[in-house]
Amino acid sequence: MAVSSRIHPMLTALEGSRKTYPPLSSERFPGETTAPVQLAGASSIVRGRRRADATACVKGSDVVHSTHMRAATMTRRHEDLDVARALANLMAFLRIEGLTGAEGPVAEEVQRRLISAGCPRSAIKLDDAARRLGSPFTIGNLIVTLPGTRPGSRRMCLGHMDTVPLCRGAQPVRRGDRIVAKGPTGVRADNRTAVAAIVTAAEIVLRERRDHPPLTLLFTVGEETGLHGAKMVRPRDLGHPAIAFNVDSGDPAKVVIGAIGAVRWTAEFVGRSSHAGMHPEQGVSAMLAAARAIANVAAKGWFGRIQRGRGGTANVGIIQGGEATNQVTDRVVMRGECRSHSAAFLQRIAAAYRRTFEQAARSVRNVRGETGRVEFRCEEDYRAFRLSRRAPVVRLASQAIRALGLDPKLVIMDGGLDANPLNEKGIPTVTLGAGQHNAHSVDEYVSIPEYLDGCRLLLRLMTAQHED
């Protein structure tokens, strides 16, 4: 089914506003001027930078990583890449606020830059993921579909637009070969490195009219809180890509060919309230039941890193309950997760939590013999996957990495990725790196050499011939 060129109502709603946005910064790069660019599907004008000279691609040898690389050296070594423009894209996207559910400004800037590079407005759309997800989401996934200039199966490059709350108010600054946050925040490297790298590679393909197979660019929403955008996206809206390259890691030589699966659970402990000072023996403490539940699963080896069976992890992340110190608590809610690369063992972990929690609830009783109870609800979060080393998507990624002079490293991850639901939908997807490190911490940073390698890697994947 052909992908509709209709622009999502969230953008058409801007009609008539004529809002003008200021430049993202006063920083200038060689050959850049300021010019207004109109966004697809809206009449609002966003002021931004446009290069007067789009031919500043310097050919040279493959990149050699150095902790003290200078800009001129990087320009010489990054063949087919305009380093100044790549870094301008990166800094621009690192500066944009865009927590989960509020990715709109990021999507607008992606569109502005791609349209400026020659992307047809008709190739751009926002899907209806926001409508199906509900609050707090304001926009859906941003999808760009381009016809090929040569025959071939469709390829997709993707990255998520949202960031975690720790990145609120982040001000990125460059320090040597790294970009870090100026204050005590994250720097939005997760995952604006992906957004910037995809845009940078696509700009080159569009401006220089590089030969390429059919391409899809996907910028997802809500990854940080549950891979929501990737779960909601429909393969038909993507043009049914045959393979996909998700960017959400650091080392560009690393190819994530498998990732863990997870379930999320909620346990509601119910007891009986009484006055904690005058008649504590009449109460059934839900707080005590919850405490025993956690202690017992840990004592049985089901908490944290699980060493038995096929292995996995489990955690209690949220505990809520209690209204007063002089009241025996009658309700406590706990939320947590279990993970494993084995679907069968994942169910075994969840079953151990249910059984242990039920026993803990029944173990708390009052003078009348009344006991506590627990309602345990468990749902699948995302499924594990593992691709063959000989899968076409793995071989093509490895081929492109070797072309950069790097040695591909195939790895399995214990974290969930947008690649999980995409593989479940039948789109073989690997995850690659573009320089992000120490995500979700104040120590987060971007490695500039790795980011530039990530840009070059994506350019090759967008244009390279498929390895048979």
Tens of pLDDT, residue by residue over 321-370, are 999 999 999 999 999 999 999 999 999 999 999 999 999 999 999 999 99
Tokens 């079953």 belong to 351
Say what percent of the chain tops pLDDT 90.
Answer: 81
Is pLDDT at 62 greater than 80 in this prediction? Answer: no
Peptide linkage before 136 cis (omega within 30 of 0):
yes
Tell me the per-residue pLDDT of 104-162, one tens digit each, with 9 for 90 and over: 999 999 999 999 999 999 999 999 999 999 999 999 999 999 999 999 999 999 999 99
Per-residue b or e along 150-188, where b marks 16 or more CB atoms closer than 10 Å to that residue's CB: eeeebbbbbbbbbbbebbeebebeeeebbbbbeeebbbb
Region 173-190 average pLDDT: 97
Local confidence band at 466 (pLDDT 50, 70, 90 cut-offs): low
Is pLDDT at 461 greater than 70 in this prediction? Answer: yes
pLDDT for position 70: 39
Tell me phi and psi for residue 278, to 5 degrees: -95, -40
- The letter for the amino acid at 72 is A
What is the spatial order of strands in the sheet that 20-21 belongs to?
A: 20-21, 45-51, 32-38
Give the domains, in start order, of the chain with CATH numbers: 9-259+385-463 (3.40.630.10), 261-382 (3.30.70.360)
- The letter for the amino acid at 210 is R
Q: Mean pLDDT for the chain?
A: 86
Is pLDDT at 22 greater than 90 in this prediction? Answer: no
DSSP assigned state of 270: E
Region 56-74 average pLDDT: 35
pLDDT for position 309: 86
| Token code pair at residue 363 | 């173990």
State how far the Cα of 386 lies from the Cα of 396, in Å rounded to an integer: 16
Is pLDDT at 460 greater than 70 in this prediction? Answer: yes
Local confidence band at 308 (pLDDT 50, 70, 90 cut-offs): confident
Tell me the per-residue pLDDT of 222-232, one tens digit each, with 9 for 90 and over: 999 999 999 99
Tell me the per-residue pLDDT of 182-202, one tens digit each, with 9 for 90 and over: 999 999 999 999 999 999 999
Is pLDDT at 219 greater than 90 in this prediction? Answer: yes
Region 9-29 average pLDDT: 33
Tell me the per-residue pLDDT of 237-286, one tens digit each, with 9 for 90 and over: 999 999 999 999 999 999 999 999 999 999 999 999 999 999 999 999 99
Region 422-443 average pLDDT: 97
Is pLDDT at 34 greater than 50 in this prediction? Answer: no
